[in-house]
């Protein structure tokens, strides 16, 4: 059964489609398993090379001086990501915080930041494109240039190279799509971008927002030549276990700048206690390659089932994936609400809660979020969110087990079918 069957499949009973969809997806699942195996091997070897031991899981207090567990976790992350150094801290509260540390430590008044594509909503506030924070980059005297992707979703290299000049210190690449209908950046495209920029502007620092992308492919941005990459531990690399935190990996001198921004000049990475211990952070990283592929299998299943019901998805079920996000155009605000409420109702936590569209800090306009998660805001757990604006696109992400994601998607698709029948 191929893509040409989509129009005639529209309107079929959801349950009738599920079994044959699973059979059709078997080759896609098998390829994802190979990616998980390769990434698991890399993580396992990093643990072994850095001689991770039980005593590394113990808590520290006060300043956290001499916390060998924290310092060894930094080394493991650097090893896994093919980087010179890493900063992994519970005191980094989100991916936005990690990226802010990088940007604010690298950019000084008179410098220029160039970004490819429109940054995620919360990062626009950090830059100063929205909001009026005096602590934003623009408020601090940093100039900004954004470069749009080409109409076909590819990179407009001519525009990108024109935007970068001698004043440019940082090029920001966002791996995931954010709330935009574009392909996420994969390692092949990222390597091409970095190589092209380096040939004409070798001094520019390439910083990658790696949120939602870790362990989706066989390499990470620092393998592809990025100077820095950062992300959140309650997304992919925390493996569903890390209760908070973020990471920064890359060049040692740049990681140290971020560490001093996090704490204080002269203190840097030497402080930062972990009162609860680090077992969940080590174990979460170890499990992350498996759980990421569980999320990808759920996304593939969602894409194909929704495609067969007549909806437009990105990426398509059989496209190469570079992050865990699955976008679906529902085309109607009532459909968005019904879909997200069904996802919430199928959650293990707060299943009784009814999502409503509401303003959120750092976001422009109302957003509806379905997130019945064990860790608040954990996007590696099965969640869905949507900005309430045309074309009314829902963004699915996560799923610690493919089985849970499958159950949630079936429930959401059945809700859409009921809504369609009610509206005539």
Residues 73 and 164 in one domain: yes
Residues 111 and 252 in one domain: yes
48 lies in some domain: no
CATH number at residue 378: 3.90.1150.60
174 lies in some domain: yes
Residues 356 and 411 in one domain: yes
Residues 280 and 290 in one domain: no
Domain boundary among 284, 308, 323: 284
CATH number at residue 236: 3.40.640.10
For the stretch 2-40, pLDDT in tens is 444 433 444 457 888 999 999 999 999 999 999 999 999
pLDDT at site 403? 96
For the stretch 302-348, pLDDT in tens is 999 999 999 999 999 999 999 999 999 999 999 999 999 999 999 99
Domain boundary among 254, 284, 314: 284
280 lies in some domain: yes
Residues 132 and 194 in one domain: yes
Residue 109 has pLDDT above 80, yes or no: yes
**Cα–Cα dist 52/321, whole Å:** 31
47 lies in some domain: no
46 lies in some domain: no
Residues 308 and 254 in one domain: no
Residues 84 and 95 in one domain: yes
For the stretch 211-221, pLDDT in tens is 999 999 999 99
Mean pLDDT of 233-256: 98
Residues 353 and 326 in one domain: yes
Q: What is the number of domains present in the chain?
A: 2
| Structural domain of 77 | 55-284
pLDDT at site 152? 84
Residue 357 has pLDDT above 60, yes or no: yes
Domain boundary among 247, 268, 284: 284
């Amino acid at each position: 059964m191929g893509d040409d069957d989509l129009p005639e499949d529209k309107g079929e009973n959801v349950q009738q489609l599920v079994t044959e969809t699973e059979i059709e997806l078997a080759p896609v699942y098998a390829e994802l398993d190979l990616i998980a195996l390769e990434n698991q091997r890399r993580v396992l070897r990093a643990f072994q090379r850095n001689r991770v031991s039980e005593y590394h899981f113990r808590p520290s207090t006060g300043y956290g001086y001499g916390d060998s567990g924290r310092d060894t976790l930094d080394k493991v992350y650097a090893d896994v990501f093919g980087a010179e150094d890493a900063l992994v801290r519970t005191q980094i509260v989100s991916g936005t915080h990690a990226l802010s540390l990088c940007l604010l430590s690298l950019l000084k008044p008179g410098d220029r930041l160039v970004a490819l594509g429109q940054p995620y909503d919360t990062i626009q506030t950090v830059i100063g494109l929205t909001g009026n924070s005096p602590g934003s980059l623009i408020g601090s005297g940093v100039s900004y240039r954004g470069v749009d992707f080409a109409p076909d979703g590819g990179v407009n290299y001519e525009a990108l190279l024109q935007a970068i000049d001698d004043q440019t210190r940082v090029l920001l690449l966002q791996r995931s799509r954010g709330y935009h209908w574009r392909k996420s950046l994969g390692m092949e495209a990222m390597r091409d971008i970095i190589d092209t920029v380096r040939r004409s502007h070798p001094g520019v620092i390439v910083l990658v927002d790696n949120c939602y992308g870790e362990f989706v492919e066989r390499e990470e941005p620092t393998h592809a030549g990025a100077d820095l990459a950062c992300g959140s531990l309650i997304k992919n690399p925390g493996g569903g276990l890390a209760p908070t935190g973020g990471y920064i990996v890359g060049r040692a001198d740049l990681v140290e700048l971020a560490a001093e921004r996090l704490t204080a000049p002269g203190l840097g990475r030497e402080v930062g206690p972990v009162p609860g211990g680090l077992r969940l952070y080590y174990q979460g990283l170890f499990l992350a390659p498996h759980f990421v592929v569980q999320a990808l299998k759920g996304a593939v299943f969602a894409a194909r089932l929704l495609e067969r019901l007549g909806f437009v998805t990105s990426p398509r079920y059989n496209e190469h994936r570079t992050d865990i996000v699955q976008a679906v155009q529902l085309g109607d605000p009532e459909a968005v609400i019904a879909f997200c409420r069904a996802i919430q109702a199928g959650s293990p936590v707060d299943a009784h809660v009814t999502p409503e569209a509401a303003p959120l800090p750092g976001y422009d306009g109302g957003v509806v979020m379905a997130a019945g998660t064990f860790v608040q805001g954990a996007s590696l757990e099965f969640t869905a969110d949507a900005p309430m604006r045309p074309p009314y696109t829902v963004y699915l992400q996560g799923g610690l087990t493919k089985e849970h994601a499958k159950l949630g998607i079936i429930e959401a698709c059945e809700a859409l079918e009921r809504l369609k029948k009610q509206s005539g």
